[in-house]
Amino acid sequence: MMPYMETVQVVQLIAWVTALIEFIMGLYILLLNIRHSANRHVSILLILFAINTYAQSQLINAERLSQIKQPLLLLAATTPAIQPGLLLIALVLLKPQWLQKRGQVLRWFLYGLVSLPIILTILDYYFQTNIWYTGYRTTNYPGGFIDLQHFTQGSLGTILRVLFIYAITVVTIFPLSYIAIFDKSITKLTRKLAYTLLSTQILAILINFVLFFIIGTYYGVLITSTVFAIGYTYAAFWQLISERRLQTGKLQIRLTVLVLTITIPLLVAISTYIINSASELLQHSASPQLDGATVSFIGFQAIVLIVIGVGVLLLLTLTYMTIRQAIRPIDTLTNTAVAISQGDLSRVAPVESDDEIGILAQAFNQMTEQLLELIGNLEKRVSERTVDLERRSSQLQAAADVGRAAASVLDTNQLLKEVVEVIRNRFNLYYVGIFLVDERKEWAYLRAGTGKAGRDMLSRGHRIQMGQGMIGWAIANAQARVASDVQKDVLRLATAELPDTRSEAAIPLRVRGEVIGAITVQDIHPDTLDEPSIASLQTMADLVSIAIDNARLYTESQETLEASRRAYGEASEKAWREQTQKPFIYQSIEGGTYKYKNDRGIVGQADEKILKLPIKARNLVIGELISQKSNMAGDWLPEEITLLETIVEQLGIALESARLYEETQRRAAFEKLTREVTAQMRKSLDIDTVLRIAASEFKRVLDLSEVEIRVGLEEGKHT
């Protein structure tokens, strides 16, 4: 029959298992991501819980003073450190920004609180300072659990117990309450975790201060530490999962370490428990006659420890090999992916199994094949796009060249010659020609053409009747006509000079709602004139149309200007002829300026001292400036002659301006008088009154002695 297990042993076993779980969870969380601050803090807290719970399990089953020395030291060092550790972990998990930058002071303060009982316990134990830890001083030990106050009776024992066990426990509730209830900047998950930690803290306070008298000190401490461990482990795992923190290191090593973190402590703990249980059983049951058996049991312990060591080593080896076997295809697939990402698209992932990893390798290979095909198609499309872009660029350059020519060349024939050459060269065409409609709009005549074919057709006066052929159709319909294959276009008219044409387009020349001609473009290959090319050609055709129209308008304006100039010149000449009929001239001598009678037609004798310069107004000689030096002066110098020529030129301009001003004034006065007379005559609607006013105004304005107005019809004329 199985031996009876007392309640104390059951509780000890529960505490021992709890400590083992806390220790394993602490290592597990640490190794999940050792570089992250939250992992490190939670791991240290769980290890503190594990040490504390283990010390409790050892203390509850102790019977002698020699058995409680180690558990009391561990309890004195860890029990006060747990509460500030819980506050620190709560802030690390919920509000890490409070511990950064200026909050580092708070962080180091909490670090100090966690470390203080550990440091004081070590000092008290080795140097007998009796600040905190004093040990159990009573020789009469009844066995079992001992409350913290019985072995922490140092000079600061009471103060530190109140601070760590009670004060910090209550203080922790305030930041947790603020974060859970009032903080609006946190996420829903953080608020949920804050409520979890707050509930854990309140439950622990209820257990310590309310249920203490019902369940006893030991059970209260054990349950409290278990509640804290569960609550904070739950919060830590939820945050780790939600943040998906980056894990470093090879997957194989990480999995091996995580598996061994669980198995090795579990194996060692179970073996240790079996050995200790066997030792205690032997000590309680053996009689003095079994001393030899005790020696044999010690040898058995050594053998067990050796077997445990070999088992751990075998477990480590087999775990590593198993994980390596499972991970190796993933490692190969990773190397393949890295090689492909670096440009080696020839790599293929080996398919070594039919499981998920094998399916993943197959899918990866299919993806690589699709990527190769995609890249090939992409390169082909890029090449096609590059060619198309170069062609479009050449067409845009052609449009720019045509625009420059249209803006700079005013000679229509020269413009058309340049345009056809630019279009043929930029579009790499067989032939380009421009037709313009005659004034009767019956025929479209070729005005410019490229190559020998263009010259031959120009020499024979090539023309196309309106409405016939592609040119006639484009002009009549004011839109482009394209024949991708000329043999299939029934409207096209073949030309003997262009036997190799396979595709053709006729582009209308449109300006101000009127078609003035068309551009014909031809190529030796079919299907070369696509829509973008036609659009570019139409743009250039519109530019040419505007240029032709501008050249025509410029020619007309020049002719009108020239006619105006001729008319103005004739009027100016008449006015100056009348002006020169005045009988006076002006002469300036040393005594002043005098006006003399103009003896026109009298020419003096030639004299080197006399310089005669013509006075011109708008290229019309209207007078002469005669300058004479005194007998004592020398001949005329070139500088003096140049100065006088400049003065005479300005004199002609001034005289013309003065004449125009006088004429303008006369016209203004005449128009004023005309308006006044007309206004007076319009004051009445009676014929007699109008005639009387007209006679009176004519007499006044023209300063006449008598004015007579007769009204009547000539004989034989009727209206």
List the beta bridge partners of residue 628.
610
State which of 16-25, 188-197, 233-242 shows the largest mean pLDDT: 188-197
What is the rounded CA–CA span in Å between residue 454 and residue 433? 7
In whole angstroms, what separates CA 231 from the centre of its chain? 46
Q: Which two tokens stand for residue 72?
A: 């009391």
Select the highest-mean-pLDDT range: 160-174, 249-263, 307-321, 486-500. 160-174
Report the C-alpha gap between 570 and 173 in whole angstroms. 113
Q: DSSP of 429-441, one letter per residue? A: -SEEEEEEE-TTS
Phi, psi of 441 (to 5 degrees): 60, 40
At 714, the pLDDT band (50, 70, 90 cuts) reads low
The confidence score (pLDDT) of residue 595 equals 45
Half-sphere exposure in the Cβ direction for 686 (13 Å, CA):
4
pLDDT at 3: 41
Return d(Cα 146, Cα 217) in angstroms, integer: 9
Residue 613 near residue 648, CB atoms below 8 Å: yes
Strand ranges for 439-560 from DSSP E: 443-449, 463-465, 481-483, 503-511, 514-523
Q: Measured between alpha carbons, how far is 220 from 209 in angstroms, rounded to an integer?
A: 9
Q: Given strand 503-511, what is the order of strands in its sheet?
A: 463-465, 443-449, 431-437, 514-523, 503-511, 481-483
Calpha distance 418→515 (Å, rounded): 21
In angstroms, the CA 384 to CA 334 distance is: 35
Of 311, 314, 305, which Cα lies nearest the Cα of 276?
305
Two tokens, residue 4: 């009876």
Contact between residue 392 and residue 379 where contact means Cβ atoms under 8 Å apart = no
The mean pLDDT value for 463-467 works out to: 89
Contact status, residue 520 vs residue 435, Cβ threshold 8 Å: yes
Whose CA is closest to 56, among 40, 43, 68?
68
The helices-and-strands tally (H runs, E runs) of the chain is 19, 10
Which range in 92-96, 322-326, 621-625 is most confidently predicted, on average pLDDT? 92-96
Phi/psi of residue 493, nearest 5 degrees: -105, 120
Whether residue 40 has pLDDT greater than 80: yes
Instruction: Give the pLDDT of residue 600.
Output: 42
Contact status, residue 415 vs residue 547, Cβ threshold 8 Å: yes
Residue 676 CB partners (closer than 8 Å, separation 6+): 697, 701
Residue 114 contacts residue 214 (beta carbons within 8 Å): no
d(CA 394, CA 401): 10
Note the pLDDT tens digit of each residue in 51-85: 998 898 888 878 888 888 999 999 999 999 999 99
Q: What is the Rg, in whole angstroms, of the alpha carbon atoms belonging to the chain?
A: 59
Contact in structure between 111 and 26 (CB atoms under 8 Å): no
Hey, what are 599's tokens? Answer: 């003896």
Provide the pairing of β-strand 592-597 with 443-449: unpaired
In tens, the pLDDT along 112-155 reads 999 999 999 999 999 999 999 998 887 788 778 888 888 999 99
**b/e map of 50-65 (b: 16 or more CB within 10 Å)?**
bbbbbbbbbbbbbeee
- At 545 the pLDDT is 85
Residues 6 or more apart whose CB falls under 8 angstroms from that of 623 comprise 580, 614, 615, 655
Q: Identify the residue whose tokens are 């369940």.
A: 215
Secondary structure (3-state) at 110: helix
Residues 6+ apart with CB under 8 A from 44: 26, 85
Residue 246 tokens, joined: 């980056």
What's the confidence (pLDDT) of residue 168? Answer: 92
Domains in the chain, start-ordered, CATH in brackets? Answer: 7-245 (1.20.1070.10), 390-557 (3.30.450.40), 580-678 (no CATH)
The letter for the amino acid at 555 is T
pLDDT of residue 354: 64
The DSSP output letter for 3 is P
Instruction: Say how far apart CA 232 and CA 225 lie, in whole Å.
Output: 11
> Would you state the structure tokens that stand for residue 43, as one six-digit string?
């791991």
Question: In the predicted model, what is the mean pLDDT of residues 520-539?
Answer: 85
Is 544 within 8 Å of 407 (Cβ atoms)? Answer: no
Torsion angles phi and psi, residue 448, rounded to 5: -160, 140
pLDDT per position as a tens digit, 636-663 = 888 878 888 888 888 778 877 777 777 7
Residue 717 has pLDDT above 60, yes or no: no
What is the residue-averaged pLDDT of the chain? 78
Tokens of 566: 């001729």
At 601 the pLDDT is 40
pTM for this structure? 0.49
pLDDT by residue (tens digit) across 550-566?
Answer: 878 887 888 787 777 67
Measured CA to CA, the distance from residue 697 to residue 686 in angstroms comes to 16
pLDDT range class, residue 2, cuts 50, 70, 90: very low
HSE (side-chain half, CA atoms, 13 Å) at 488: 7
pLDDT for 268 beyond 80? no
At 280, the pLDDT band (50, 70, 90 cuts) reads low
In terms of phi and psi (left: phi > 0; alpha: psi -120 to 50; beta: otherwise), the region of 581 is: alpha
Amino acid, res. 364: F
Contacts for 258 with CB less than 8 Å, ≥ 6 apart? 28, 31, 32
Q: Residues 155-178: pLDDT tens digits? A: 999 999 999 988 998 999 999 999
* Nearest Cα residue to 444 out of 454, 433, 453, 452: 433
Per the document, the length of the chain is 719
Residue 703 has pLDDT above 50, yes or no: yes
